[in-house]
């Protein structure tokens, strides 16, 4: 019998194209925040009134935060070299994704966004282009830049700029993985400091995840990393520069070798890499984060057939425990902007992790259950992360991030929570 209730691929494609094209092209626009109904209004908005804030900023550069939108404005910037899972399709093709990122910033944290798709001939040119934009923005969100160039780009811009620079594909993913893993291990009666972890896919997201987990207490001797060439070990030739620090002294050479006796598996790689036999070789009460999209390293239905003591997460919304970056990047930027942070530190990321993990352990508001059409929802094997529509995210996460910014000495001002608009 044919299932007529689910749209076929062509219907889904057309629906997506219509969404982006109608009733007007694109997903974002400019909003005016001041009155413009009279001649006096226009005289204040532009000439001659605009001369007064110009003079004030020239006399005191800090006045820019008072008289312009810079303090709530983030640039979402890409070179189009790693668009979603579609690869290097160039800056022009990346524009729908960057607009989409702007939608999420605005919807979840009321942050205004300008998307910038940069056609740069090489990495130094891209870095120089972005660096010169600093006077315009309160923060820079790098997006869809392929590894290893993304590491060089972020490091150079963080050093050169006096505003937060954040590559969400790296750090947003890492924060959500770390928060989910914290809670999954807790439910399994384990601790990160003691857990044996295998990670597959040592690109941008995988590398940032490992760095964050190591900062949080993961022991390097309990870590094995696997890429296309097998286990990253000290005897391998021609390792990428960013892989050297993860090279292990081990006899394991394949993923099958690596997962034997492991407590946790994190996949940020490709479909169907973790077999049923590999999963069976892990220790009691394992944790599996199979995050390849759209098809995970192992399907949840397969995994649960093999192990009834498993906690599992994917990157998909149609399974429990979706690892979704929207839980992090709007709120970490909101906290950074609201204390005018100069950069985003490791402690700010860890504060975000801890606040997310703690929130998932609290009772779920009725409004969240209603949004997801569920009668019950609570901390457990199928709920290790908050839901994106949880109204407590905007209350908790930015404040935790700002506190860490003050502790690290990178905040310019006391934290002042941004007044969020009411939603119907």
Q: How many whole angstroms from its chain centre is CA 33?
A: 29
pLDDT confidence of residue 6: 56
Catalytic residue among 34, 95, 101, 349: 101
Active site residue 101: yes
41-163 architecture in CATH? Answer: 3-Layer(aba) Sandwich (3.40)
Which of 27, 46, 190, 372 is labelled catalytic?
A: 46
Q: Do 41-163 and 168-424 show the same overall fold?
A: yes
User: So what's the pLDDT on residue 268?
Assistant: 96
State yes or no: cis peptide before 397, omega within 30 of 0.
no
Q: What is the pLDDT of residue 9?
A: 87
Cα 150–195–396 angle (5° rounding)? 60
Q: Could you give the CA distance from residue 190 to residue 209 in angstroms, rounded to a whole number? A: 19
DSSP-assigned letters across all residues of 83-112? BTTTB--HHHHTHHHHHHHHHHHHHHH--E
- DSSP letters spanning 110-129: --EEEEEE---SSHHHHHHH
**The whole model's pTM is what?**
0.94
Is CATH 3.40.50.720 the right assignment for the domain spanning 168-424?
Answer: yes
- Pairing between β-strand 287-290 and β-strand 73-78 as defined by DSSP bridges: unpaired
Sketch the domain layout of the chain as residue ranges.
41-163, 168-424
Residue ranges, the chain, pLDDT below 50: 1-2
Catalytic, 190? Answer no
């Amino acid at each position: 019998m044919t299932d007529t209730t689910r749209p076929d691929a062509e219907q889904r494609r057309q629906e997506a194209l219509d969404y982006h094209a109608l009733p007007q092209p694109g997903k974002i626009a400019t909003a005016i925040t001041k009155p413009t109904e009279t001649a006096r209004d226009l005289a204040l908005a532009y000439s001659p009134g605009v001369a007064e804030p110009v003079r004030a900023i020239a006399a005191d550069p800090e006045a820019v935060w008072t008289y312009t939108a810079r303090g709530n404005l983030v640039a979402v910037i890409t070179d189009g070299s790693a668009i979603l899972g579609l690869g290097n399709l160039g800056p022009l093709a990346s524009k729908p994704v960057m607009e989409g990122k702007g939608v999420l910033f605005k919807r979840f944290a009321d942050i205004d966004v300008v998307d910038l798709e940069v056609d740069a001939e090489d990495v130094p040119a891209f870095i120089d282009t972005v660096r010169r934009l600093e006077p315009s923005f309160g923060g820079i969100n790098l997006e869809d830049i392929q590894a290893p160039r993304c590491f060089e780009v972020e490091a150079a811009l963080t050093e050169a700029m006096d505003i937060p620079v954040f590559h969400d594909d790296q750090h947003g993913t890492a924060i959500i993985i770390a928060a989910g893993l914290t809670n999954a291990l807790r439910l399994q009666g384990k601790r990160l400091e003691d857990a044996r972890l295998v990670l597959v896919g040592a690109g941008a997201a995988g590398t940032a995840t490992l760095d964050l987990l190591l900062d949080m207490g993961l022991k390097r001797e309990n870590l094995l990393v696997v890429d296309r060439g097998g286990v990253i070990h000290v005897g391998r030739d021609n390792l990428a520069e960013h892989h050297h620090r993860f090279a292990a002294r081990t006899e394991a050479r394949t993923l099958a070798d690596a997962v034997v006796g492991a407590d946790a598996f994190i996949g940020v790689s490709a479909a169907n890499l973790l077999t049923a036999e590999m999963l069976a070789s892990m220790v009691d009460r394992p944790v599996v984060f199979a995050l390849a999209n759209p098809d995970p390293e192992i399907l949840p239905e397969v995994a649960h057939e093999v192990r009834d003591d498993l906690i599992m997460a994917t990157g998909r919304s149609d399974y429990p425990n979706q690892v979704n970056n929207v839980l992090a990047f709007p709120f970490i930027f909101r906290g950074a902007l609201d204390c005018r942070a100069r950069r985003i530190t490791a402690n700010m990321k860890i504060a975000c992790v801890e606040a997310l993990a703690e929130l998932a352990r609290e009772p779920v508001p009725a409004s969240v259950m209603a949004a997801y059409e569920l009668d019950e929802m609570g901390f457990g094997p199928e709920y290790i992360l908050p839901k994106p529509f949880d109204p407590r995210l905007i209350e908790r996460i930015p404040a935790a991030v700002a506190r860490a910014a003050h502790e690290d000495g990178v905040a310019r001002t006391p934290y002042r929570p941004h007044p969020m608009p009411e939603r119907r």
